[in-house]
């Protein structure tokens, strides 16, 4: 009987340590008894709760300010493309189309380029050149958006108009690349935004690739894989949730980009299949017209555009987060098998 006491004591200590967790004390016990811990815990809970409350407050403010135009037009405000402040006719469809198309073009260009640059830096560049190459690309993130807009207006738009757009107009599929064009178009806006979000995609993907253990690369090479096969199987496959997360962050900036898009999109609220034609976006319409709005209905319509932009951003982020969760869960199942 005396010999079993130390065994039971050690067993109880082990169970207590497991319940306590890595910090050495059980959650909910010492923290509750100590008044200082209670205060600290309340502060952290309030800080965490303030984020969704702030988002809800912004959404509520936008909705309340949008009620005048929504009461007049109803849900048709979101599906009408007419926008005539003089005649008090307001519709958000053309602006939503411009926002989504600009972001789509930007993601189609920046996502593959950002992943490729991140792979080149982490997997194929010399060790001494990796930090410098990453720093050069990430420096673009510090450039103000208005500078990108000026560069797009005076450099990129004339270049695309003179050299690129004529080639695109010769490509089969006229509805998407049809003339005439002035250089200020959906395509130009998408290219400018693509350059702006490229550092975001590259930086996040680079950190994700660096987090992959070298043992995975060495295992793939030891099994006879080529360098590209090792990168594809041991780096890209485990990093897929992180790559999707990088695209999510880039998409958030692309949807809300204002000044650069305003300067190069053409500011014509219309729905056209021609990507070389002028269009408008939700953010640029608000920036252009908010200071010039003279009627309460016009102000309410612009606020409703902000409400729609907020809603689109939230929905796309929720869908993207669910996609990341699904991909991560699927890869966990594959790893277990």
Q: What is the CATH number of the domain that holds 168?
A: 1.10.3720.10
The answer on 148 and 25 residing in a single domain is no
Mean model confidence pLDDT for the chain: 83
**213 — pLDDT class (breaks 50, 70, 90):** confident
The answer on 157 and 273 residing in a single domain is yes
Total count of domains within the chain: 2
Distance CA 90, CA 297 (A): 9
pTM of the model: 0.80
Residue with the two structure tokens 């809300």: 256
The answer on 305 and 175 residing in a single domain is yes
Distance CA 277, CA 296 (A): 31
The answer on 190 and 91 residing in a single domain is yes
**330 — pLDDT class (breaks 50, 70, 90):** low
Distance CA 156, CA 161 (A): 8
Domain that holds residue 21: 1-29
186-211 and 93-119 helices cross at what angle (nearest 10)? Answer: 40
Q: Tell me the residue length of the chain.
A: 337
Looking at residue 155, its pLDDT comes to 93
Mean pLDDT for 252-266 is 88
User: Within a domain: residue 46?
Assistant: no
The answer on 298 and 210 residing in a single domain is yes
Mean pLDDT for 268-285 is 88
Asked if the model's pLDDT at residue 29 lies above 50, the reply is: no
> Which of 121-130, 255-264, 278-287, 306-315 is predicted least confidently?
121-130
The answer on 90 and 10 residing in a single domain is no
Looking at residue 32, its pLDDT comes to 52
The answer on 95 and 192 residing in a single domain is yes
Mean pLDDT for 43-58 is 90
The answer on 234 and 329 residing in a single domain is yes
The answer on 2 and 121 residing in a single domain is no
The answer on 267 and 157 residing in a single domain is yes
Looking at residue 12, its pLDDT comes to 53
296-336 and 93-119 helices cross at what angle (nearest 10)? Answer: 40
Distance CA 88, CA 68 (A): 12
Q: What are phi and psi of 194, to 5 degrees?
A: -60, -40
Asked if the model's pLDDT at residue 164 lies above 90, the reply is: no
Give the single-character DSSP code of 75.
G
Mean pLDDT for 77-106 is 90
The answer on 215 and 115 residing in a single domain is yes
């Amino acid at each position: 009987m005396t010999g079993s006491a130390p065994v039971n004591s050690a067993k109880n200590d082990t169970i207590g340590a497991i319940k306590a967790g890595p910090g050495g004390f059980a959650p909910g016990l010492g923290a509750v008894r100590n008044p200082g811990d209670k205060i600290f815990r309340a502060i952290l809970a309030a800080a965490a709760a303030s984020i969704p409350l702030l988002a809800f407050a912004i959404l509520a403010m936008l909705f309340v300010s949008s009620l005048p135009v929504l009461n007049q037009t109803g849900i048709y405000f979101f599906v009408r493309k007419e926008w005539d402040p003089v005649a008090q006719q307001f519709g958000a469809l053309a602006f939503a189309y411009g926002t989504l198309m600009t972001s789509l073009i930007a993601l189609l260009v920046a996502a593959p380029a950002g992943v490729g640059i991140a792979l080149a830096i982490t997997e194929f560049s010399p060790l001494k050149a990796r930090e410098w190459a990453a720093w050069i690309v990430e420096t673009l993130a510090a450039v103000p958006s208005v500078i990108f807009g000026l560069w797009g207006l005076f450099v990129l738009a004339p270049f695309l108009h003179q050299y690129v757009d004529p080639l695109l107009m010769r490509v089969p599929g006229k509805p998407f690349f049809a003339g005439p064009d002035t250089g200020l178009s959906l395509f130009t806006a998408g290219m400018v935004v693509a350059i702006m979000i490229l550092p975001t995609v590259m930086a996040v993907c680079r950190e994700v690739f660096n987090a992959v253990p070298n043992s995975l690369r060495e295992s793939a090479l030891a099994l006879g894989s080529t360098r590209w096969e090792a990168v594809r199987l041991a780096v890209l496959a485990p990093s897929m949730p992180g790559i999707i997360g990088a695209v999510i962050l880039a998409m958030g900036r692309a949807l809300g980009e204002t000044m650069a898009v305003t300067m190069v999109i053409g500011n014509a609220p219309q729905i056209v299949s021609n990507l070389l034609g002028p269009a408008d976006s939700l953010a640029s319409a608000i920036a252009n017209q908010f200071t010039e709005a003279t009627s309460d209905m016009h102000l309410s319509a612009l606020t409703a555009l902000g409400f729609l932009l907020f809603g689109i951003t939230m929905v796309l982020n929720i869908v993207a987060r669910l996609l990341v969760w699904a991909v991560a869960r699927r890869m966990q199942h594959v790893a277990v098998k």
